[in-house]
Homo-oligomer: A and B are copies of this chain.
Amino acid sequence: MIEKEQLVKMIDHTELNSHSGEKKISNLCDEARKFGFFSVCVNSCYTRFAAEKLFGSDVLVCTVAGFPLGACTTATKAFEAGKSVEEGAMEIDMVMNVGALRDKRYSYVKEDIAEVVKACGPALLKVILETCYLTDEEIVEACKICVDAGAQFVKTSTGFGAFGAFPDHIRLMRKTVGPHIGVKASGGIKNFKEVWRLIQAGASRIGMSAGVTMLEGFTLFKYAPQAWLEPEIPCHVCPSRHASLGKLPKALYTYYKQKCSSCPHKDEYNKFYD
């Protein structure tokens, strides 16, 4: 089990919607102070604002770069990250160039990350892989490149892709990067049960907007630990279930469909690709 004090210090309290204004960010900072979250995670136009709001607390400011597509130039990502560090960000969450990774242009991907590492200086860099658009093999490759390039963290998702964090992907990432690199789960995480599953799978940080309601759930669940320690039906937490053609590139949809049809749980649970 986990204590509340440990749990809150794993949470990046997050607000990245384009339509959010200062009031939302201000509330986010107040909540982070009140509950003792590790950081607030905001868009770069709010770096300075959040840093001022959090002055004198031990809540860090985490800012995104090249977010959420990761398809701007390397120079732009590095510029954005560098400026955010100047304005008070202690952590930067950049998005990997997903298209280049899928193209197997690995040296481009590595250079893209290495330049942001440089721009970050003393700040910690997390690299968002956007796992929903990658095969397992590509996730492994991406993790290796991130470590090689000098990033301190790999992170699953932006929250703007086809789907978010799954224990399967977290396990794969943790296995690939080993114990000394951070693994951050993010995207669509709503409650403590999901958080706990991701921590068990190897996540060392959780990015979510629903941190406050998650903590309420955590308190309640304490009284009935068995109910939420029960293993989940595998297909319910399988990325394949969420792989819809609407948002995924066709190749990846096919990949998931094939994975699903050769899965040992297929006859027991799967209702999705019959």
Residues in chain A within 8 A of chain B (CB atoms): 16-24, 43-47, 67-76, 79-80, 83-84, 95, 97-100, 102-103, 105, 130, 133, 160-161, 249, 252
Closest to A160 in B: B160
CB neighbours (8 Å) of A97 from chain B are 45
Give chain B nearest CB distance to A71 CB in angstroms: 3
What are the 10 A-B residue pairs with the smallest beta carbon separation, nearest first? A43-B71, A21-B103, A19-B133, A18-B69, A21-B99, A76-B80, A44-B72, A18-B98, A79-B79, A19-B98
Give chain B nearest CB distance to A248 CB in angstroms: 8
4 more contacts with CB within 8 A, not counting A19-B133, A19-B252, are: A18-B95, A19-B98, A20-B99, A44-B73
Closest to A70 in B: B18
**Cα-based distance from A67 to B84 in the complex (angstroms):** 17
Give chain B nearest CB distance to A16 CB in angstroms: 7
CB neighbours (8 Å) of A17 from chain B are 69, 99, 249
**Cα-based distance from A17 to B251 in the complex (angstroms):** 14
Are B72 and A45 closer than 8 Å at their CB atoms? yes
Closest to A23 in B: B103
Q: Could you list 12 A-B pairs, sorted by A, with CB under 8 Å? A: A16-B71, A18-B99, A19-B252, A23-B103, A43-B69, A43-B71, A45-B71, A45-B100, A47-B73, A68-B68, A75-B83, A160-B160
